[in-house]
Structure 1
Amino acid sequence: MQNVWKTIYRVFKYSIRTLYLIRTVTINILFIIFIIISIGIYLNLSDSSTASLSKHTALILDLSGIIVDKPVTYGKFHKFSQHLLNTNRSNTKENSLFDIINILRQAKNDPCITGLILSLKNFSGSNQASLEYIGKVLREFKDAGKLIYAISDYYNQSQYFLASYANKIYLTPHGFVDLRGISTNKLYYKSLLNNLKINTHIFRVGTYKSAVEPFIQDQMSDHVRHEEKQLINRLWNQYLKIISINRNITRQEIFPGINKILDGLYQMQGDTAAYALKNKWIDEIASHFFIENTMKKIFGSNKEGTSFNAISMYDYNVITPIEKNNQIAIICVNGPIVDGPDIPGAIGGDTIANKIRSARFNPKVKAIVLRVNSPGGSVNAAELIRLELIAIRNAGKPVVVSMGGIAASGGYWISTPANAIIASNSTITGSIGIFGIVNTFEKSLDSIGIHNDGVGTSPIANISITTPLPTEYINMMQLYVNTSYHYFISTVATSRCKTIEDIQKIAQGHVWLGYDAIKNGLIDTIGDLDDAINKATELAHLTEYQLNWYEDKVNWIDVILQQTNKVVYTIIINLLNHYVSLTNFNENIKTNNPNILNFSWNDPKHCYALDLDYLMQL
C-alpha cells in the first residue's frame, strides 16, 4: 500500500513540475516575442523619424494595393506588422487616402524633397472620386515648382489616371497603356434559387432600386440597364476629360474607340509602347537602365551608388501636429452599414453612433466632418447614426458631410442632418429607396424528405426559414418597407427644404453622380474633404484648428492576427490569379457579388437602404 502512495505521489509531483515547466516556457516565449516586437517597433518608428534626407531627394509614390478612406487596421502597429509579416507590398494592402494626401502635402513643402516619382506597378486602384482628390494634390505639388515623373512597365486605368498628372511619363519598350472603358457586371440568381427550390420574398419601393434584381431575374431589366449605361458613360467622360486636360490632347486622342485602337496597333505591328507614344499617351519609351541614369542626373546617386536619392512613401515620416483646443472631428463611414458594432468588411451603426456621441461630449471638438463612402445598409443602423448627428447639431456643433466615391441609399440617409453636403463630380449618390429580402427553404427541405409542422397562437408566431411566409407577415413586411420609404422621402424633403413631391421625382432608387445631384438639390457643393473641412471651420467660426481623426484603437495582438489573415488571403488570391484576372479590380464598377453574399443581413425589420450594385466601388 505504501508503494502505491509513493507512486501516486511521484506522478503528482512530476505532473506539477511538468505543468510548471510548460507554464514557465510559455511565459518566457511570449515575453521574448513581446520584447522582439517592442524592439522592432522602436527601431522601425525611430528609424523613420530620425532618417535624414539628402538635399535632392525624390519621394517615390510606390503605391501597393488599393486606396480606401479607412483601412481595416489603422495606426503605427499596422505599419510595423506589415514589415514583420512581409505584407507591405501585398496587392491586398489597404492605403489610407488621407495618409497619401498628408504625405504629398508635407513633401510639397519639404525642401529636401525636390521631385516625385510615380511608381504604380503594384497599385490595384480606387474609386474615381479618390483618384481625383489625389490628382488635385499632385497638381499642387507641380504648382510648387517640383517635377513629377511616372515610371512603369504598363499602366492600367487607375494607374494611368494618376500618371497623367506627371510632367513626364516613361514606359519601357514592351510596355502598354491599358485603357478599356468602364463597365458594370453582376451575377443573377433567379434560376439558381429556383433549382435549389428556395423561395425568395422581395419587398421594395422604387422603380430603380435594382439591388434586388439578382434574386428575382436572370438578367438586367431595361430601365436599370438604361440608368447604368448613362451612369458609366458620364463617369467615363469625366475620366477622359481630366486626362485630356492633363495631357493637353483631345478626348478622341485619348480613347478613339476600340476599332481605331486596333487599327492603330496593326499599323504599329502590335508595338503597344510605340502606339502609346504616337498617341501622346506617354512622353518617352526607355529602359529601366536609361531611366535610372536619368533620375541619377536629376536627384543624384545614393550613398551606395546603386540608385538615385529617393525615399518610399511608406518610409517618409509625417510630422504629427501639436494638439490644439479647437478640433474638427473626422469620422469615417467606410463600407456597408450593419446593425450593431463593426464586423469585418462592414461598419456598425452602434460604432459610428458612439463616435459621434463621443465627439458631442468632447469640449475640444467644435465641429464634425462625416466622411461617407458607403452604399448604405440596415435602415435601423442608418437611423441610429442620423439621430446622433441631429443630437450633435442641436448641441451647437455644425455637421458637414464629405461624400467619397459612393454615398447612396443608407449612405445618403445618414447625410441628411448635415448643415452642408459636399461631393465630388464622380460621387455616386441618391438611390433613395428601400427593400427587404426574406429567403425560406421549405421546398428545398421537402425535396429531400424533411417536413416542418407545428402550431402557434397566431399566424406569425413562428416565422422561420423552414416554413412558408404567412400572408399576414408578407403584408406586414411590405408595410414596413413602404413606411420606411415614406419616412426616407419625408426626411430628405425636410432636410433639403423641398416638398415630398419634389423628392419623389428624383427618388425611386434613382442613382445620381455628383454634378447631377447638385442640380437636383441633393447636395450643396462640388468639392472634396478639404472643402468640407473649410466649410466646417466657417460654420464653427474657427481661425485655427486641428483635425481629430476618430479612428478605431487596436492592440498589437489584433494587428498581428489581422495581418496573418491577410497573408493567408494573399496566398488564396495568388492561386485564384491563375484563373481570374484581378488587373482591373477597381477600375470598373464591379458588382460581383462576394459582397452580396458576405453582407450581414441583420436589420431587425429586414429593411435595407442599400445599393448592392456599387459595393465594389469601395
Structure 2
Amino acid sequence: MRALWQIFATIFKFSWRVINFIRQAVCNLIFFLVLLIGFALYMQVQDSTIQPEKGALLVNLSGTVVDSLSSDSKLRQLGQELIGSNKDVQENSLFDIVKQIRQAKDDDKISGMVLSLSNFIGADQPSLRYIGKALKEFRDSGKPIYAIGDSYTQGQYYLASFANKIYLSPQGSVLLTGISTNNLYYKSLLDKLKVTTNIFRVGTYKSAVEPFIRDNMSPEARQSDSRWVNTLWSNYMTDVAANRHISIAELYPEPARLIQQLKASDGDTAAFALKNKLVDEISSRSTVEKMLKETFGWDQQNKNYNFISIYNYQITTPDLEKAKLPEIAVIFANGAIVDGPEMPGMVGGDTTAKQLRAARLNDKIKAIILRVNSPGGSVTASEMIRSEVQALKEAGKPVVVSMGGMAASGGYWISTPADYIVSSPSTLTGSIGIFGVINTFENSLDAIGVHTDGVSTSPLADATITKALPPQFSEMMQLTIENGYKTFINLVAKSRHKTPAEVDSIAQGRVWIGSDAKANGLVDQLGDFDDAIKKAAELAKLKDYEIKWTVTEPTVREILLGQVSASVNALLPEAMKIELPAPLRQVAEDINKQPGFFGNMNDPGYRYIYCLSCSYTQ
C-alpha cells in the first residue's frame, strides 16, 4: 500500500510540475504577446502624422543626439514612459534631424521654426555643428527661427544661437560654464581592497590606465587634455559669438568681470543675459505664446499656435525610381569597440565586420561611408573591422571615413585603410597607443584566509587572477603590447604616407582635436558628413545615387527577453537619474562613464586601444 501511495504521489508531483510548467509558459507567452502589441501600438502612435495646413516646425528635442540609434532605444524610451518619468529620455538620430530640417526648409506648409529645447540633454560638438548648419540653411531661406526657453544650458544655447530671435523667461538664465574632463581614479580603493593591478602600455600620453595606478591626472595627460579642451571651447565660443553678432568677451566675460556685471544686474541672470546680448527679449510664456499665435496662427482644436512637432514630421520617402540607382552605404561604428556582436551603445566587432563584408559583396553598393564615433576598445575587434575596411578598398570600392565627435585610438585604427578621412574641426582623434590591464586578487584573498596552490607545466600556465602574475607572463604581455604599438604605428605610417618615426612623434597616446589632426596629417579634410558623401561620390564617379543606411535591428530574442530584464535593472535607475538637478546628474554621468567600458573589456589578449578622456563634458 505504501509503495502504491508513493507511485501515486510521484505521478501527481510529475503531473503538477507539467501543469505548472504549461501554465507559466502560457502566461509568459501572453505577457510577451501583450508586450509586442503594446510596442507595435506605441510605434504606430510615434509615427502618426498630424500636420496643420500651415505652421511652424516645433523642434522640441528630448534626450540626446547620436549618430546611430541603439537597437533598443525605442524600447528604453517606452520603458521610461511606462514608469512615469516626466521627462523623455531618448536617443535622436542626428541624420534624421538634419533631413527633417532640410525638408522643412522647402516645405510650403512650414512657415517657420520654433526651438523649444528644455528637455534636450546634449550632443557632441560636431553633431551640434551639423544641426546648426541645417538651421542656418533654414534661416537663410527666409523662414524665421524662434528659440523659446525658461533657461538654456550650453548645448541648448548653441542651437538657440542660430535663431533669428531668442526669448528667455524673466527668471531664466543662459548657463555657459565651459568644458571640463572629469575621470574617476581608483588607486587608493584598489590598495585598500588589496587588488594588484598589472599594467602594460606604450605611450607617454596613454592615460586610460591612469585610474588604476594613480589618484589624480598625470602632468602629461593634463598637458595633452588641456590643449584640446581649450580648442574645443574656443570653437564653441567662436561659433556662438558669430551667430549672435557679438564679441567673445561679451559672450563669455572673464570670471571677475562676469561677477561684476552680474552684481550690476543685482543678481538678475535674465537681465544679465539681455544686457550682454545673449538673448533678444525677456518674456513670460503667455507673451511668447501670443507672439507665436500672431506669427503662425491659432489652432482652435488644440488651443495652441499652429505647429507640427519634429517627432511627427515625417521624412518624405524617396521615389521608386531611386531603387534603380547605385548606392553609397553608410555603416556606423558608434561607441566603444568590443568583441562579439553589437550591444546597445557599443560597436560589436563581429556585427560591424559582417556589415562591411555585406557591402563588399553587394554589387549595387559602389562606395562606403564609415561613420566613426568611437573612443576605441578591443584590439582584436578593431583589427577585425579594419581588415574588412582594407578588403573593401582592395575590392575597388572607395571607403571614406566620416569622423563624428571622436574617432580616437581604436576608432582611428579602423579608419586607417580608408581612401579618405573627413574630420570635424572639433573631432577628438589620434590617441595612437595601446595598453593591457590584468587585475589579480591574491592579496585580497589572503586577507580573508583564502589561498591558491597547485601545479603547472610551465610558469605561463600558472597565470591566474588568484595569484601574482608570473614574471615570464608579464614580460610576454609587455612584448605583445609593444608589438601592438609598432603595428599601430606602421598602419598609420602606411596609410598617411609617413615614416614610423614621424608617426611616433605625434602618437604616444596623445589626443588631437580635428584641426590639429589635419595639421599633423592624420586626416585629409576638415568638414562634415555632407563633405564625406560628396567625396565618396567623387571617388566612385557617381552623379546620381541613393544613400543606404545600415541599421542593426533588434532580434526577437532581444525584444522578448533582453528588454524585460533591462527594464528593471537599467530603466529605473536611469529614470531616477534624469530627475536629479543638472550638477548631480553630471556626477552620475561621470560615475557611469568609466565602468561602462571597463565592465565590457573582453579582448582575448587583454590588449586595448581606448581613449578614456575623449568622453568630454559639453
TM superposition score normalised by structure 2: 0.91
Partner of 2:55: 57
- Are residues 465 and 252 of structure 1, via their aligned partners in 2, closer, same or farther at CA, if it must alter by over 3 Å? same
Q: Deviations over 1:7-64 (max 9, x none)?
A: 999979997999888877776676566556555655654x32xx4x334311111111
Q: Does 1:94 align with 2:91?
A: yes
Residue among 247, 265, 269 paired with 1:268: 265
Tell me the amino acid that sits aligned with residue 201 of structure 1.
N
Q: Deviations over 1:293-315 (max 9, x none)?
A: 10010000013261100111111
Structure 2, unaligned stretches of length 5 or more?
none
Partner of 2:107: 110
Partner of 1:120: 117
Q: Deviations over 1:335-358 (max 9, x none)?
A: 110112223432111111000001
Partner of 1:349: 349
Q: Does 1:254 align with 2:251?
A: yes
Q: Does 1:532 align with 2:532?
A: yes
Partner of 1:572: 573
Q: 2: distance between equivalents of 1:241 and 1:589? A: 27
Displacement after TM superposition at 1:232 (Å): 1.0
Say if 1:124 and 1:584, in contact at 8 Å, map to a contact too: no
Displacement after TM superposition at 1:556 (Å): 6.6
Partner of 1:134: 131
Tell me the amino acid that sits aligned with residue 365 of structure 1.
I
Say if 1:591 and 1:612, in contact at 8 Å, map to a contact too: no
Residue among 173, 176, 194 paired with 2:173: 176
Q: 1: distance between equivalents of 2:9 and 2:473? A: 66
Q: Deviations over 1:480-500 (max 9, x none)?
A: 010000010011000011111
Partner of 2:379: 379
Tell me the amino acid that sits aligned with residue 60 of structure 2.
D
Residue among 116, 140, 144 paired with 2:141: 144
Partner of 1:489: 489
Secondary structure of 1:415 counterpart: coil
- Trace 1:112-261 onto structure 2 (pairs within 5 A): 112-261=109-258
Secondary structure of 1:154 counterpart: coil
Displacement after TM superposition at 1:74 (Å): 6.7
Q: 1: distance between equivalents of 2:281 and 2:188? A: 52
Secondary structure of 1:407 counterpart: strand
Q: 2: distance between equivalents of 1:506 and 1:29? A: 57
Q: 2: distance between equivalents of 1:79 and 1:189? A: 31
Secondary structure of 1:202 counterpart: strand
- Are residues 109 and 444 of structure 1, via their aligned partners in 2, closer, same or farther at CA, if it must alter by over 3 Å? same
Partner of 2:313: 316
- Are residues 361 and 89 of structure 1, via their aligned partners in 2, closer, same or farther at CA, if it must alter by over 3 Å? farther
Which has the larger displacement, 254-263 or 34-43? Answer: 34-43
Say if 1:156 and 1:583, in contact at 8 Å, map to a contact too: no
The number of equivalent residue pairs is 611
Q: 2: distance between equivalents of 1:139 and 1:129? A: 15
Tell me the amino acid that sits aligned with residue 151 of structure 1.
I
Q: 2: distance between equivalents of 1:66 and 1:581? A: 14
Secondary structure of 1:155 counterpart: coil
Tell me the amino acid that sits aligned with residue 61 of structure 1.
V
Say if 1:92 and 1:570, in contact at 8 Å, map to a contact too: no
Q: 1: distance between equivalents of 2:113 and 2:549? A: 27
Q: 2: distance between equivalents of 1:20 and 1:326? A: 52
Q: 2: distance between equivalents of 1:154 and 1:564? A: 36
Q: 2: distance between equivalents of 1:20 and 1:602? A: 38
Tell me the amino acid that sits aligned with residue 472 of structure 1.
Q
Secondary structure of 1:281 counterpart: coil
Structure 1, unaligned stretches of length 5 or more?
none
Q: 1: distance between equivalents of 2:411 and 2:443? A: 36
Which has the larger displacement, 558-567 or 519-528? Answer: 558-567
Q: Deviations over 1:207-246 (max 9, x none)?
A: 1111111111111111211221122111111110001100
Which has the larger displacement, 418-427 or 185-194? Answer: 185-194
Displacement after TM superposition at 1:194 (Å): 1.2
Partner of 1:396: 396
Secondary structure of 1:317 counterpart: coil
Tell me the amino acid that sits aligned with residue 366 of structure 2.
K
Displacement after TM superposition at 1:374 (Å): 0.4
- Are residues 343 and 324 of structure 1, via their aligned partners in 2, closer, same or farther at CA, if it must alter by over 3 Å? same
Q: Deviations over 1:63-98 (max 9, x none)?
A: 1111111121279x6699479747897453111111
Displacement after TM superposition at 1:602 (Å): 1.2
- Are residues 547 and 585 of structure 1, via their aligned partners in 2, closer, same or farther at CA, if it must alter by over 3 Å? farther
Tell me the amino acid that sits aligned with residue 106 of structure 2.
N
Q: 2: distance between equivalents of 1:27 and 1:596? A: 33
Tell me the amino acid that sits aligned with residue 399 of structure 1.
V
- Are residues 383 and 514 of structure 1, via their aligned partners in 2, closer, same or farther at CA, if it must alter by over 3 Å? same
Partner of 1:285: 282
Q: Deviations over 1:283-336 (max 9, x none)?
A: 000000000010010000013261100111111111222434411110110111
- Trace 1:358-377 onto structure 2 (pairs within 5 A): 358-377=358-377
- Are residues 224 and 462 of structure 1, via their aligned partners in 2, closer, same or farther at CA, if it must alter by over 3 Å? same
Say if 1:181 and 1:236, in contact at 8 Å, map to a contact too: yes
Secondary structure of 2:170 counterpart: strand
Q: 2: distance between equivalents of 1:237 and 1:251? A: 9
- Trace 1:7-18 onto structure 2 (pairs within 5 A): none
> Sequence identity of aligned pairs in percent?
46
- Are residues 9 and 523 of structure 1, via their aligned partners in 2, closer, same or farther at CA, if it must alter by over 3 Å? closer
Secondary structure of 2:452 counterpart: coil
- Are residues 563 and 299 of structure 1, via their aligned partners in 2, closer, same or farther at CA, if it must alter by over 3 Å? farther
Say if 1:406 and 1:617, in contact at 8 Å, map to a contact too: no
Secondary structure of 2:439 counterpart: strand
Which has the larger displacement, 288-297 or 316-325? Answer: 316-325
Secondary structure of 1:173 counterpart: coil
Say if 2:39 and 2:75, in contact at 8 Å, map to a contact too: no
Q: 1: distance between equivalents of 2:15 and 2:609? A: 63
Displacement after TM superposition at 1:282 (Å): 0.2
Tell me the amino acid that sits aligned with residue 513 of structure 2.
L
TM superposition score normalised by structure 1: 0.91
Structure 1 vs Structure 2 CA RMSD:
3.1
Tell me the amino acid that sits aligned with residue 605 of structure 2.
K
- Are residues 357 and 312 of structure 1, via their aligned partners in 2, closer, same or farther at CA, if it must alter by over 3 Å? same
Partner of 1:307: 304
Tell me the amino acid that sits aligned with residue 549 of structure 1.
W
Q: 1: distance between equivalents of 2:31 and 2:535? A: 53
Tell me the amino acid that sits aligned with residue 62 of structure 1.
N
Say if 1:376 and 1:382, in contact at 8 Å, map to a contact too: yes
Which has the larger displacement, 351-360 or 571-580? Answer: 571-580
Say if 1:66 and 1:93, in contact at 8 Å, map to a contact too: yes
Secondary structure of 1:460 counterpart: helix
Secondary structure of 1:175 counterpart: coil
- Trace 1:400-419 onto structure 2 (pairs within 5 A): 400-419=400-419
Say if 1:300 and 1:308, in contact at 8 Å, map to a contact too: yes
Say if 1:87 and 1:566, in contact at 8 Å, map to a contact too: no
